[in-house]
Amino acid sequence: MKRDDDFIRELLFEIEASDDPYLIADLVMSPSAEDLKRHMHAKWLSDAGLLLEENDGVFRITNQGHDYLAAIRDDGIWKKTKAAASRVPAFLMPSARRSPMPSRLAILCTRSATASTSP
């Protein structure tokens, strides 16, 4: 299964908007393709430190996850972040490439966009 960074972004928005602080992404016998995708992306977000798995298949967003979400909230920033991340070879930033759209890169794109719109 390939990682879908747009799906990751939407999943984080969904968690943030929910009144329930937990995302349930557990696996059942013979999960649907959508349930499997949701579970694997939650696991990858947990690997990156953006979610914390409190129990099997039960995740909550971390402080780092909220910071990341704030950095990629703007659609223009998100597009620049994805474009910039796609141009960086994996061997140059191996640990960052394991994380969904590296947070530092999103923050740099945010700073770049706000600097270019400043008078």
Across the chain, which has 119 residues, the per-10-residue mean pLDDT values are: 91 93 88 93 94 94 93 90 77 52 53 52
DSSP-derived secondary structure for 1-64: ----HHHHHHHHHHHHH-SSSEEE----SS--HHHHHHHHHHHHHHHTTSEEEEETTEEEE-HH
* Domain range list for the chain: 5-62, 67-117
What CA–CA distance (Å, rounded) separates 100 from 65? Answer: 11
What CA–CA distance (Å, rounded) separates 43 from 83? Answer: 24
Phi, then psi, of 20 in degrees rounded to 5: -85, 125
Identify the pLDDT of residue 115: 53
- Structure tokens, 35: 């349930």
Nearest Cα to Cα of residue 73 among 18, 9, 8: 9
Identify the pLDDT of residue 83: 85
Full-model pTM: 0.71
